[in-house]
A and B are shown apart, each in its own frame.
Chain A
């Protein structure tokens, strides 16, 4: 492994400023790493010439001293973000040749701040999945456990795998029900889902519009702060984008948590959660206590209904959003005699099994006669879930939970859809309430797989989330590196 790959986002930024190496050298080191780790299948598309040009432009800025916040730092982009003139497939066959003519707001923000784009990262098809196994181009492998093929989690599996394998310095992800936090937990890295509305959704392939939110996958909490600083911001092109200034998160890295109250929800310790995760959850509680926080038991009574609510609302919104793939305006078309048949064969062949399943569920719960019983009911229970959080945040500042009930599992072990959905049991509630959450690695289980812990904050309290996560990160001292990057 090149020494240049040992730097994280923040330390690489400092080293670049000190002219210890150039952005071109750093970017080239990453292209070597991408080649060496290609068996992981994290990248769908690399754009080397484009990347090297961006790196050269950054090196010019280093010479001139006109530096931007992410100047010269090479990052990967989840394939859910539209990137101008660079293929964007959402890991779906139906978009296999789609080349956007515009750039998503979030990625444009990153390039405007000087970041260098390495390429596009695989994910579950249309971000629907928790194992990256629904990707049209095949599985992505978790770089942990050299001798096995473990899932990187999903849907941002390519992003998590690449950051953990050090084939990207950091990466963008999207999170609808846990798609940043769960893969971050599985791959031993940090993943932050901001408050709904913090990052513009414009130019992100839409899955479930009331839930989708972009965020960073990084090696450290400081890196997440640095990257989210650039990704976030109000955007007129997204009507749900919050018109609210985000404070510079780098000012909150060392604020500590003395006097803060941390809630431990009793509903998040359930049957089926692995012993090693329970052990590290308890350790995390103690670390926060030792650092000056007050620990309080709290209750979020509607937690068990979060997954059923999610599996009505997300498919309903998806069935509507994915109606646009009609074989007319963009995407793959299969020819047929009539227009209706053309739609049916195009969509039947273009979408994978999980996507079709969710479109069917979504169409069913929105259909005449079932709308009230399913969709409206789910929206009502969603309010109760949000009110649970509102009540708890009157008593505490942050909520601590495990990120996932288990660590990563082996790829290719066929699971039924419902068992797969249970992966997101701890991440979905905060998504439904629109709250910011971060998963960070705190230890390894007996088989050597990373364990993630989640912190949830009140809406728009990303600054406090960062301060608290930093305390946990320092106590956990998670310095392990994935052993199977070049498998």
Chain B
């Protein structure tokens, strides 16, 4: 991961910003690129560690995810669900037009 070609440039920042749905102003892109390269350079020291026989650890709890019966436990709270929406109408969230 420490190869230079994997490091970030402005086109990569544009791509990641797009994937993240983040509008990044042009004049801050160079600083952000530098920051990301510093951080990625720092984490690249993990390359030193031999992990060929190591399983990834996603959860430290060690317990199995509990199952529950497939029953509705609440409901009829449409007003509460919509209460913090920037815009709603007739029980729906409203977004800008997506179909021409």
Contact = CB atoms under 8 A, between A and B. Distances in A.
Interface of A: 97-102, 196-197, 210, 236, 239-240, 242-243, 302, 304-305, 307-309, 311-312, 319, 323, 326-333, 335-345, 347-349, 351, 356-357, 359-361, 363-364, 367, 370, 373-374, 376-384, 386, 416-418, 421, 432-434, 459
A380 B57 contact: yes
A378 B35 CA distance: 20
A328 B25 CA distance: 22
A380 B56 contact: yes
Contacts of B61: 196-197, 240, 242, 434
Which 9 interchain pairs have the tightest Cβ spacing? A348-B23, A434-B60, A379-B56, A330-B84, A333-B86, A383-B57, A380-B51, A344-B23, A373-B1
Nearest to B52: A380
A331 B95 CA distance: 14
A459 B59 CA distance: 13
18 contacts: A100-B84, A102-B80, A210-B58, A243-B63, A305-B49, A311-B42, A329-B93, A330-B85, A331-B84, A333-B87, A338-B96, A341-B23, A341-B96, A347-B22, A357-B32, A360-B16, A379-B56, A433-B60
A360 B36 contact: yes
A347 B19 CA distance: 12
Nearest to B59: A210
B71 interface: no
Contact of A327 (B16, B22, B66, B86): B86
A101 B83 contact: yes
Nearest to A335: B96
Contacts of A386: 57, 60
Which of A101, A210, A349, A380 has the most chain B CB within a 10 Å cutoff? A380
Given A210-B60, A378-B46, A418-B38, 16 more contacts: A99-B83, A308-B43, A339-B95, A342-B95, A342-B96, A343-B21, A347-B23, A360-B36, A361-B39, A367-B16, A374-B43, A380-B54, A383-B54, A417-B38, A418-B39, A418-B42
Interface in B54-75: 54-61, 63, 65-66, 68
Contacts of A364: 8, 12, 16, 36, 40
A309 B39 CA distance: 11
Nearest to B8: A364
Interface string B15-40: 01101111111000000100110111
Given A338-B96, A360-B13, A381 B60 contact: no
B23 A349 contact: yes
Given A336-B96, A364-B16, A379 B57 contact: yes
Nearest to A334: B23
A433 B44 CA distance: 21
A196 B59 CA distance: 10
Which of A304, A341, A370, A373 has the most chain B CB within a 10 Å cutoff? A373
Contacts of B55: 380, 383
B45 interface: yes
B59 to A, nearest CB: 6
Interface residues of B, number: 52
Given A101-B83, A329-B85, A382 B22 contact: no
Given A210-B59, A356-B22, A356-B24, A311 B1 contact: no
Given A340-B21, A359-B20, A416-B38, A384 B54 contact: yes
A384 B46 CA distance: 12
A47 B59 CA distance: 37
Nearest to B21: A343
Nearest to A360: B16
Contacts of A307: 42
Nearest to A310: B43
Contacts of A328: 85-86, 93, 95
A49 to B, nearest CB: 21
A347 B21 contact: yes
Contacts of B93: 328-329
B86 to A, nearest CB: 4
Nearest to B33: A360
A407 B77 CA distance: 48
A137 to B, nearest CB: 19
Nearest to A370: B6
Contacts of A373: 1, 6
Contact of A359 (B22, B23, B95): B22
Given A309-B46, A347-B22, A339 B96 contact: yes
A99 B19 CA distance: 29
Nearest to B93: A328
Given A311-B42, A417-B35, A418-B39, A363 B19 contact: yes
Contact of B24 (A308, A323, A343, A348): A348
Nearest to A308: B43
B57 A363 contact: no
B38 to A, nearest CB: 5
A288 B21 CA distance: 52
Contacts of A341: 23, 96
A271 B78 CA distance: 57
